[in-house]
Amino acid sequence: MLIAGNWKMFKGPHETRAFLAGFRPPDDVDVVICPPYVSLAAAVDAGVTVYAQNAHWERDGAYTGEVSAAMLAELGVRGSIIGHSERRQHFCETDETVRLRAEAVLDAGLGVIACLGETEGEREAGATEEVLRRQVAVLPEHERLVIAYEPVWAIGTGRTASPQQAQEAHALIKSLHAAQVLYGGSVKPDNAAELLAQPDVDGALVGGASLDPTSFLAICFAAR
């Protein structure tokens, strides 16, 4: 079971060190921390498994503001989230750039958590399966690639896919790709156990609830 905490644009180095100083997740659950770029080194120094929140597909070049997978590896980062819905929504991420980023990170010897999921409009239009099939189709088959199903309508809204909805989506994704599949979308201590109990849910990508050590630890222990 894998539990990843996506801190988004929260927690600089000082807050990261304070959070991780007393963070003791269970030994039998794989836990990944995904802080912002400026806090990656602090998290690596704390001895936890660290993923970035994004990585460019080129090794180097004139790409102001971007960071390559090779740079992340040199820092001691173990992988990266790729294609998060906020990247797709706010920064023009496409299925093609998700593929390029994922391949570059894997080629650098790192792990990938590749995010996908439908919007509220797509679900209401009955297009969930079509969207998931399209998004999965671009992802490479690789032992270090994990998929995170994150229904966009459940991210930062307080709404969560029902366990049945999550299970149906995960089963579809697993019929298309051999990767582990995490659920992401308003995962909290009070719904984590039920979501993680679904047969095709292999863990969680946790957003807001990962910012508080007490709630994040509760989710990690629920994964046991």
- Active site positions, annotated: 84, 150
Distance of CA 208 to the CA centre of its chain: 13
Task: State how far the Cα of 181 lies from the Cα of 168, in Å rounded to an integer.
Answer: 12
Helix (H) / strand (E) containing 145: strand 145-149
Please spell the DSSP secondary structure of 85-124, one letter per residue: HHHHHHS---HHHHHHHHHHHHHTT-EEEEEE---HHHHH
Longest alpha-carbon distance in the chain? 47
CA–CA gap between residue 169 and residue 182 (Å, rounded): 11
Residue pair 30/220 in contact (Cβ under 8 Å)? The answer is no
Q: Find out whether 5 and 34 touch, Cβ atoms under 8 Å.
A: yes
CA angle 218, 52, 153 (to 5 degrees): 60
Q: Are 52 and 67 in contact, with CB atoms under 8 Å apart?
A: yes
Q: Are strands 2-6 and 203-206 parallel, antiparallel or unpaired?
A: parallel
Listed residue (122, 41, 40, 119) closest to 81, CA to CA: 40
Say if CB 19 and CB 213 are below 8 A apart. Answer: yes
